[in-house]
Structure 1
Amino acid sequence: MMDAPIIDPLQGVFPEIIEEYLESGIMKCIAFNRRGTLLAAGCADGTCIIWDFGTRGIAREFKDDDSVASITSVCWSKYGHRILVSAADKSLSLWDVVRGEKITRITLQQTPLQARLYPRSTTPSICLVCPLSSAPMIVDLETGSMTVLPVLPTEGGNGVAPPSKNKFSDGSAPFTPTSACFNKYGDLVYVGNSKGEILIVDHRSVQVRGIVLVPGNAVIKNIVFSRNGQYLLINSTDRTIRIYENLLPVNNALTGLDEATNDLNDLEGVEKLKAVGALCLTLFREFQDSVTRVHWKAPCFSGDGEWVVGGSANKGEHKIYIWDRAGHLVKILEGPKEAIVDLAWHPVNPVVVSVSLSGLVYIWAKDFTENWSAFAPDFKELEENEEYVEREDEFDLNPEIEKVKGSDVNEDEDVDIDGLENDSTFSDSDLSGDEICFLPADPIPDAPEQQDKCVGSSSKLGESNQSGSPLSVEAGQNGQVNHESSPFEGEDTGTTGLKRRRKPSEKVLEQQAEKVKKPPQKMKQSGKPQN
């Protein structure tokens, strides 16, 4: 609850300030790759930009000449080889990230608000699409086939929506925009409809296998799974974010669903679907602002699933709320007076990235304070004075010193330097050798106008040197070149045969002045005749 006391922020590391912002066109949506090393952003002009999140530079730009419409969503494949882009011109484009080439492009009958690739395959061609005003569908990008998923249960329990008089040409009934998502391994699709129901759908057989009733019966706007697949987030129009715990096995969800269905053979129809749904999901926590009753925008989980983040949907404010799974509010981030369009939490680090209405991407990070103090290893820095209590044997000649505990590491065991240790952040697998984490950035040459300016400035510099500027070369009394009039030494000025000299230090100037004041010593003449 929003009126609950804010817990101690020292219990976790959370973003605090805007560390940096990214600017390139008008960006509308963002998505991290699996490791958080690359950030994809879709722009209003139809361009998809890949940012190197480490250097904050642009690594790739995907531009479809056939599409200039605004991008509505971007989605990475599991290991980053492909990226799916949906646009407002009803198109879906699949890109090869490394080569920067477009693999395929298809056009739908409705504008896709969101598109997600099948999570199990490394190079998928199957995706889940949520159109603007029709039911979600499974689209095969290779063949172009489309399978409309049900959004309403029937009394017969076959999962096919009842016939309607007003239908689109693809046979789907008109509904308000509905949200849907794959589970962790893509066995099932969870669909949120306009009646406040979560439908568990087997997308292969196109059947509703379970129904979960959401309190309030409000329209479900967002539905997102946590990375580990154990929790499901629901954002409804009743201004409440709800967290459900997944009771099905994460790895074999469809098998667990079949077992739950077999145990309920005495029930039929919708009652059986509701009973199965109760065995699949259970309400875990609710988040809402009981004071301002704000709507939420783009809520999501943190990378480890321990925190929930949501943006305010009010116009003219850039507020981000962070809760723990227990329901305590831990942080409120306030940015510029611009509405939030999209939001994402970094998969590994405590970093939040938000997109503003103006098209800028803000990076929120922890405000770390550097401490350059150097202490002995056994020295403890105190923030305030404390009364010191000495030990009983502290000043004895032979104090009893605690023995150092022996290490449990077997020193005779061979050290594995070839294997990779599983990363606890990623619950499904370790680092893949085929995974794309970084992309080589292409150097951007200077504009021709800037190059002309540089050439013009160097030519003017040479002319000024010929006219007797402070950088010009003067002839000395002995016919030697005198460089003392130049304030720089040893630097190339860009002109032929002329170098800038660095200005001598004060000590060198003093030594030169002493040599001038001191008369030269005469050589004593010897009696020997000179040659």
Structure 2
Amino acid sequence: MNAPIIDPLQGDFPEVIEEYLEHGVMKCIAFNRRGTLLAAGCSDGSCVIWDFETRGIAKELRDRDCVAAITSVCWSKYGHRILVSAADKSLTLWDVLSGEKVTRIVLQQTPLQARLHPGSSMPSVCLACPLSSAPMIVDLNTGSTTALPVTVPDMGNGVAPPSRYKFPDGTPFTLTAACFNKNGDLVYVGNSKGEILIIDHKNVKVLAMIPISGGAVIKNIVFSRNGQYLLASSNDRIIRIYENLLPLKDGLAAFDDLSKTIEEEDTVEKMKAVGSKSLVLFREFQDLITKMHWKAPCFSGDGEWVIAASASKGEHKIYIWDRAGHLVKILEGPKEAVFDLAWHPVHPIIVSVSLTGLVYIWAKDYTENWSAFAPDFKELEENEEYVEREDEFDLVPETEKVKESDANEDDEVDIVNVEKDPFSDSDMSQEELCFLPAIPCPDVSEQHDKCVGSSSKLIDSNHSGSPLSEENGQNGQAANNASSPLEEDTGGTRLKRKRKPSKKGLELQEEKVRKPLKPLKSSSKLSKTKNKSVVDQDYGNDVYVGDGSDDC
């Protein structure tokens, strides 16, 4: 692989594992709109919400009726709702702030993926992709479901039976490729014939068809956050990027104008012609050497990068391409398969879920350079000839003269109003849930009682006058009277025990003390007691004086 291709200076993308999150066995993840909260579905049926700034658990959503593994999690547009699909065929809608369950619907088949309507703040409609049947629109208020067509001939008579969707070798395949567009008025569905269908989900009508070269089964369909690019991963081990030519806000109305410009009478050919003016192939990504299958492909937050994980078991590899089609980095983690991937909406951070249930956080490896101490300091790799400026030694250099500013100093500065977020289409009237309030956890009552009981016993023993405290009170007063004045200031409440110095220490202290005491023999009062310390009144130092015997 060429060095310029993997040059880290080429772009701002993650490089190393910065941290990992651990809570049970996590299976799938999803960021909220701002990337401040991370939702993770676990194998025990619970959904954990992490505060991504502090890397702590902010809330845990648990339903007693659901004990099966979570297959997907999805945030609403403004973060007030979370939709969770589970392996027990259930869809559960949660209120994030209160942690209460809004509704729970049980389908006929297991939903492998569920997505809330992205156009409304409090969505009541979702798109579910069951295990072995066509995608469906689910009304979360009533529980009614509407199956979407998966082929053009099935428009008038519903959806074909699941037995029709099989691989060439006869094994049935899983149809999970479906997603909303940015506004939510259209649904893009991938079928087993290698076709992308654009469907009006309200009228259950196929509007356009885009065939894929080779006719391989489409496994994933993902839109970029800005809605300008569509990613399609197929069974031929190729990731294709399409450019969306439809308007982002009113894409459904644009099909009327497209249909009028096309004069084809055949329904299939007309839909292909409309589809060619709706999506255009932009780029293809694949590994020509290993020919590996891809798992959980997605865009970066700004749409400049495309990532996908290797579907091989026993390896944790994440491939990063730029939008031009160049492979810029391969991230290698522990020897664990990848279950799910997500790119942070704002920062260059990738979050991956491993087979063991851990969530790894990949970030850029920033190297600190402490060689620059001045603002104008420049580090040189080799010697250079310095050429001084013409005005370098002038009293008032021209480069330091302040140019007159064109700004009017009398203008008022607005510090109250907030400018609209440039990267988001948020409605300023709608309050967005970015953080969850911190709820302190109380201590366990048993441990609290034990702590209170032990502290009360300690207080009672000090006041009741145990034999140890009485002895310390009597002997402590005498010891304080014989010790230095600094110990008398403590009031006799604490006994300061002195460590007996060694023989060598006594000799060194005698030599150090006797020298300054020679001219002051008449004024100093030293009591020569065996192995006891006395206080020199003139110097205030502890002096250890021996009786001249060998054992001192």
Task: Classify the TM-score, shorter chain.
Answer: 0.7 to 0.9
Tell me the SS of whatever aligns to 2:277.
helix
Please state how far the C-alpha of 1:390 moved relative to its aligned partner: 2.6
| 2:293 and 2:311 in contact (8 A); partners too | yes
Tell me the SS of whatever aligns to 1:309.
strand
Please state how far the C-alpha of 1:518 moved relative to its aligned partner: 5.8
Please state how far the C-alpha of 1:454 moved relative to its aligned partner: 6.2
Tell me the SS of whatever aligns to 1:344.
strand
Tell me the SS of whatever aligns to 2:282.
strand
- Equivalent positions of 1:119-518 (< 5 A) are 119-154=118-153, 158=155, 160-161=157-158, 176-372=174-370, 375-395=373-393, 400-401=398-399, 404=402, 406-407=404-405, 409-426=407-424, 428-429=425-426, 433-446=430-443, 475-478=475-478
Please state how far the C-alpha of 1:378 moved relative to its aligned partner: 2.9
Aligned in 2, Cα 1:464/1:385: closer, same or farther, shift over 3 Å? farther
| 2:372 and 2:379 in contact (8 A); partners too | no
- Equivalent positions of 1:13-28 (< 5 A) are 13-28=12-27
Q: 1:519 aligns with which of 536, 545, 551?
A: 536
- Paired AA for residue 140 in structure 1: D
| 2:147 and 2:159 in contact (8 A); partners too | no
Tell me the SS of whatever aligns to 2:253.
helix
Tell me the SS of whatever aligns to 2:196.
strand
Structure 2 distance, partners of 1:245, 1:366, is: 29
- Paired AA for residue 255 in structure 2: L
Aligned in 2, Cα 1:338/1:244: closer, same or farther, shift over 3 Å? same
Give the equivalent residue in structure 1 for 2:503: none
Tell me the SS of whatever aligns to 2:19.
strand
- Paired AA for residue 303 in structure 1: G
Identity of aligned residues (%): 69
| 2:314 and 2:336 in contact (8 A); partners too | yes
- Paired AA for residue 478 in structure 1: A
Please state how far the C-alpha of 1:417 moved relative to its aligned partner: 1.8
Structure 1 distance, partners of 2:239, 2:249, is: 26
Aligned in 2, Cα 1:374/1:256: closer, same or farther, shift over 3 Å? same
Tell me the SS of whatever aligns to 2:273.
helix
TM-score normalised according to structure 1 size: 0.83
- Paired AA for residue 519 in structure 1: D
How many aligned positions are there?
A: 492
Give the equivalent residue in structure 2 for 1:111: 110
Give the equivalent residue in structure 1 for 2:31: 32
Please state how far the C-alpha of 1:402 moved relative to its aligned partner: 7.5
Structure 1 distance, partners of 2:30, 2:483, is: 59
Please state how far the C-alpha of 1:244 moved relative to its aligned partner: 0.3
- Paired AA for residue 439 in structure 2: D
| 1:473 and 1:482 in contact (8 A); partners too | no
| 2:177 and 2:191 in contact (8 A); partners too | yes
Structure 1 distance, partners of 2:483, 2:99, is: 54
Aligned in 2, Cα 1:447/1:287: closer, same or farther, shift over 3 Å? farther
| 2:189 and 2:198 in contact (8 A); partners too | yes
Please state how far the C-alpha of 1:424 moved relative to its aligned partner: 2.6
Structure 2 distance, partners of 1:153, 1:430, is: 37
Tell me the SS of whatever aligns to 1:277.
helix
Aligned in 2, Cα 1:333/1:460: closer, same or farther, shift over 3 Å? farther
Aligned in 2, Cα 1:478/1:182: closer, same or farther, shift over 3 Å? same
| 2:307 and 2:321 in contact (8 A); partners too | yes
- The runs of 5 or more residues in structure 1 that have no matched partner are 169-173, 485-489, 491-497, 504-510, 523-531
Give the equivalent residue in structure 1 for 2:9: 10
- With a CA cutoff of 8 Å and minimum separation of 6, indicate the structure with the bigger relative contact order: 1
Tell me the SS of whatever aligns to 1:210.
strand
What whole-Å deviation, never above 9, does each CA across 1:313-338 have from its counterpart, x for those lacking one? 11111111111100111211111100
| 1:134 and 1:175 in contact (8 A); partners too | no
- Equivalent positions of 1:33-52 (< 5 A) are 33-52=32-51
Give the equivalent residue in structure 2 for 1:95: 94
Give the equivalent residue in structure 1 for 2:505: none
Give the equivalent residue in structure 2 for 1:64: 63
What whole-Å deviation, never above 9, does each CA across 1:212-250 have from its counterpart, x for those lacking one? 011221111110000000000011111111100000011
| 1:476 and 1:482 in contact (8 A); partners too | no
Please state how far the C-alpha of 1:370 moved relative to its aligned partner: 3.2
Structure 2 distance, partners of 1:87, 1:243, is: 30
Aligned in 2, Cα 1:481/1:30: closer, same or farther, shift over 3 Å? farther
| 2:186 and 2:251 in contact (8 A); partners too | yes
- Paired AA for residue 203 in structure 1: H
TM-score normalised according to structure 2 size: 0.80
Please state how far the C-alpha of 1:445 moved relative to its aligned partner: 4.0
- Paired AA for residue 380 in structure 2: L
Aligned in 2, Cα 1:438/1:149: closer, same or farther, shift over 3 Å? same
Please state how far the C-alpha of 1:161 moved relative to its aligned partner: 4.6
Please state how far the C-alpha of 1:294 moved relative to its aligned partner: 1.3
Aligned in 2, Cα 1:478/1:176: closer, same or farther, shift over 3 Å? closer
What whole-Å deviation, never above 9, does each CA across 1:70-119 have from its counterpart, x for those lacking one? 00000000001110000000000001111111010010001000000001
What whole-Å deviation, never above 9, does each CA across 1:254-274 have from its counterpart, x for those lacking one? 111221111113433100000
- The runs of 5 or more residues in structure 2 that have no matched partner are 166-171, 485-489, 499-508, 514-525, 527-532, 540-552
What whole-Å deviation, never above 9, does each CA across 1:400-437 have from its counterpart, x for those lacking one? 547655555443332222222222332x2366651100
| 1:422 and 1:430 in contact (8 A); partners too | no
| 1:154 and 1:269 in contact (8 A); partners too | no
| 1:229 and 1:246 in contact (8 A); partners too | yes
| 1:194 and 1:220 in contact (8 A); partners too | yes
| 1:421 and 1:430 in contact (8 A); partners too | no
Give the equivalent residue in structure 1 for 2:549: none
